[in-house]
Structure 1
Amino acid sequence: MPSRTSGQAVRVAVLADSDTRWKWGALTARRITPDDRSIELSGFLLRGRATPTARQLAEVGAEADALRELTGTDFLRTLREESYDVVVLALVGGAVQAMLHGISALKLADRPVIVTGYVGVVYEKLSDGLLLRHGADVVLANSRYDAQRFRTVYEGVGADASSVTEAALPFLGGERYVPEEGRDTVVFAAQPSVPASRADRTYLLRRLVEHARLHPRREVLLKLRSKPGEHTTHVEEFPYQRLAEKVPGGLPPNFRLVYGNMGEVLDRTDLLVTVSSTAALESLHRRIPTAILTDFGVREPLGNHHFIGSGCLASWDQLDGGGRPRPDAVWADRQGVAADGSYASAFDTARARVAELLDGPELPEISPYYTATTAPGYLPPLLARYHLAVDGTPLPSRASESDVRGVRRVVREAVRGAARGAYRHGVQRVAPVIRRMGEL
């Protein structure tokens, strides 16, 4: 049977809800496209709290042939009106589940291959997140370790596990680390919500500043993912930029706050330090010395428990004294770090699976594990959050993007922008004040 994409480009739609997920989705789309076919990539940004700004999109460096912002119901309408071969859902679990039910309800004559996965380390809500992604044709696992865990969860609840496909993080790469004469750069990769409290984040900033003062010839960089007012995958209640303004004595001359593409920052890094950022896997892939901090313990809420056995756990005291962790090769191999040169073939299985689905017979109906029968108390309110009824059809009260014209559209966009600003101001300014008042 001839392929529906034979002799033409594979038409891929990527729906993402944050800057990091857009990066994962767009890069994944290019890596899973069969080698013998070109790609036409259309990007869609799900409107919400974490919708990325133009600056954030430029920073991640993942491009598309077209890119626009819309709601979930308008994305479903787009799939009904436009033809795509592959849809990559780079979303939180609940949004993935909603889109799966929504796409199923479209009853498309020739539905696209549905692909989803995780943007980084999966260290929490394993079963919840996985079952919300069940129903996609391909659920990508970023390592052999993850693939085994994913199949165990699906099989344990009696769900089909054939969708689980081992791959890797799509943004690994860059030159292998080689020390450079005269360069000594330490980079701390910040995370928006790990740790979460003001006291813990102030502590980390203080230790980083003290490290810079202790080693005046060393360049110390605090790598930030967003600017105040912007949001990523997680809410950042206490931005390091604000905390840095209050450092006693000011910041030392060898300390800087930096933005930009993580790969470019790693090009000049001699030691990467983080609590549990996915940047650690990028660093380990390039064989850059990497430290996972233990100052707040090794605990599940921090995510650094994922690195048990890695050989990378260390405290600021040890780093101040010149310590350099040495990664465990066996652990790194199981976690998809691919520092041994195997990364070139990491997506072979995923590409073959997508090609098989594209070239094969008509795709079956989407069958998520969660239905009105298996989760009658969980699924309906989840779908309602995305303005879908329990059968996956749009709720009648939801006005479509195409229904809004002229002045109404301008007014609605202005109100939406004001609402976003108010939300972010509330998270970063008002909420901390109320919390402090409550502690009096």
Structure 2
Amino acid sequence: MLAVADSDSYLKWAACLLGDLPSGCVTELVVVRTPIAPSREQIVAAVNGRAGGPPPVLSARSVRRLAERTQPDVILVACTGPVVDVLVAEVLDDLRPRPVFVSGLPGISVPATEKAWLFRSGCDLFVVHSEREVAEFSEIASRLGGGGAIGLARLPFLRPEPAAPGGNRVVFATQAKVPKGREERERVLLSLAELAARRPDLDVVVKLRALEDERQTHNERFHYQRLWREMGEPGRLAFEAGSMQDQLQRAAGFVTVSSTAALEAIAMGVPSLVLRDFGVSAEMINLVFEGSDLLGTLDELAAGEFREASGAWCAANYFHPAAHNDWAGLLSGLVVSRPRVPARSLLDGPEHAAGRRRARLRVEVPPKMLRVGYRAKRRMRRYLRSLT
């Protein structure tokens, strides 16, 4: 299996998923060069000591040449939606023999979205991580058509490894997309600082997805560490990047607005809190936590009131029995049954050609050149508007 990732979160997911394959599978992991490709430090943290060392960052053409040379049975396209579509439909099209194309989503995918399915409808297997997600995406697939099989896998980084006893830190897992507003993010930081002041025995850590100068899967307009500096650092907080698992090993409590890391904390037995002060909705990416017993407030955070997740909720969301996982069996069947009818992408029509051209630029043009082009385009638009 050749795995291709394009960002920090997808790289971590791909590395873990490869690690869960049956013994005897030969795997290779690479990063395709895009504007959101992870830094060297992010790559090292994402693969977390994987055999073979950190994967190389390759151009799209180099990924194609690698696939032609190695002729993998399976290509795992662990990328953001538009990149999945253009790699499968164009960059890696017409490989002979045709590999099985697999894709998926690296974290919480509730509620399921049509967009996620459309971009990955050219893949033969779509991997999700809870029985609820399988049901929701199956409904979308039956309604829209296209695509291939939907397989269930436990999120590969949910290891049943309890945190070390006597943990002395509270870990706040940031999320790039939510909350969006500066004021909302400042409120989170102030509540964390209040907890640190009340509990001098605890180290309160803001676990960053990326440092200020690093890229991540989604842009973060108000970076927490920069905000803290601009606020004058009114309290005792630490800001750290690196492995979430390392942070949780020493944790007495965990908090987030919306992050897959909440599932890691549950798996490791760390009492947790998911903030609901900014709403519970699909837009806040925390709708899945309804009924989990983890939803709470900034006041509860400041008081250090963490809790355990509901057992019934866990069974329906990401902590199903291992015997229910069928993705590896489905994948083996697809490999054995070749030649076969490949999955049909729903984005093959001319109305989607412009979107594919933009996605192809992201994987073929060096990021620095692409940013120069985007800036020039914006300047030209402003100039033309000034003439009207």
Does TM, scored on the shorter chain, surpass 0.5? Answer: yes
Answering whether residue 178 of structure 2 is matched by residue 194 of structure 1, we say: yes
What's 2:381 paired with? none
| Identity in percent | 28
What's 1:99 paired with? 87
Answering whether residue 208 of structure 2 is matched by residue 224 of structure 1, we say: yes
The one-letter code sitting in structure 1 at the alignment partner of 2:353 is P
Deviations 1:96-132 (A, max 9, x none): 11122126741x3311121110011114671111121
Task: Give the Cα–Cα distance (whole angstroms) in 2 for the partners of residues 209 and 354 of structure 1.
Answer: 48
Q: CA deviation at 1:287?
A: 2.2
Q: CA deviation at 1:263?
A: 0.8
Answering whether residue 333 of structure 2 is matched by residue 356 of structure 1, we say: yes
Asked whether the equivalents of residues 34 and 355 of structure 1 are also in contact (C-alpha less than 8 Å), the reply is no
The one-letter code sitting in structure 1 at the alignment partner of 2:44 is A
The one-letter code sitting in structure 2 at the alignment partner of 1:27 is C
Task: Give the Cα–Cα distance (whole angstroms) in 1 for the partners of residues 363 and 284 of structure 2.
Answer: 40
Q: Structure 1 124/271 Cα, relative in aligned 2: closer, same or farther at 3 Å?
A: same
Asked whether the equivalents of residues 87 and 114 of structure 1 are also in contact (C-alpha less than 8 Å), the reply is yes
Task: Give the Cα–Cα distance (whole angstroms) in 2 for the partners of residues 249 and 266 of structure 1.
Answer: 24
Answering whether residue 97 of structure 2 is matched by residue 110 of structure 1, we say: yes
Task: Give the Cα–Cα distance (whole angstroms) in 1 for the partners of residues 221 and 128 of structure 2.
Answer: 30
Aligned residue pair count: 373
Answering whether residue 34 of structure 2 is matched by residue 60 of structure 1, we say: no
Task: Give the Cα–Cα distance (whole angstroms) in 2 for the partners of residues 79 and 177 of structure 1.
Answer: 40
Asked whether the equivalents of residues 144 and 166 of structure 1 are also in contact (C-alpha less than 8 Å), the reply is yes
1:119-268 correspondence to structure 2 within 5 Å? 119-123=106-110, 126-159=113-146, 163-177=149-163, 179-180=165-166, 183-248=167-232, 250-252=234-236, 255-268=237-250
The one-letter code sitting in structure 2 at the alignment partner of 1:211 is L
Structure 1 or 2, whichever has the larger Rg, is 1
What's 2:64 paired with? 76
Asked whether the equivalents of residues 127 and 150 of structure 2 are also in contact (C-alpha less than 8 Å), the reply is yes
Asked whether the equivalents of residues 72 and 386 of structure 1 are also in contact (C-alpha less than 8 Å), the reply is no
Asked whether the equivalents of residues 2 and 75 of structure 2 are also in contact (C-alpha less than 8 Å), the reply is yes
What's 1:39 paired with? 26
Asked whether the equivalents of residues 111 and 363 of structure 1 are also in contact (C-alpha less than 8 Å), the reply is no
CA RMSD of aligned residues (A): 2.8
Asked whether the equivalents of residues 208 and 239 of structure 2 are also in contact (C-alpha less than 8 Å), the reply is yes
Q: Structure 1 67/177 Cα, relative in aligned 2: closer, same or farther at 3 Å?
A: closer
Task: Give the Cα–Cα distance (whole angstroms) in 2 for the partners of residues 289 and 210 of structure 1.
Answer: 19
- Residue aligned with 1:206, SS: helix
Deviations 1:126-182 (A, max 9, x none): 11111211121110011111011110100012346x5101112111115224642xx
1:312-323 correspondence to structure 2 within 5 Å? 312-323=294-305
Instruction: Please list every run of 5 or more consecutive structure 2 residues that lacks an aligned counterpart in the other structure.
Output: 376-388
- Residue aligned with 1:216, SS: coil
What's 2:292 paired with? 310
Task: Give the Cα–Cα distance (whole angstroms) in 2 for the partners of residues 214 and 418 of structure 1.
Answer: 49
The one-letter code sitting in structure 2 at the alignment partner of 1:142 is H
Deviations 1:296-318 (A, max 9, x none): 12232211222111110000212
1:276-355 correspondence to structure 2 within 5 Å? 276-338=258-320, 342-343=321-322, 345=323, 347=325, 349-355=326-332
- Residue aligned with 2:230, SS: coil
What's 1:427 paired with? none
Asked whether the equivalents of residues 141 and 167 of structure 1 are also in contact (C-alpha less than 8 Å), the reply is yes
What's 2:378 paired with? none
- Residue aligned with 2:27, SS: strand
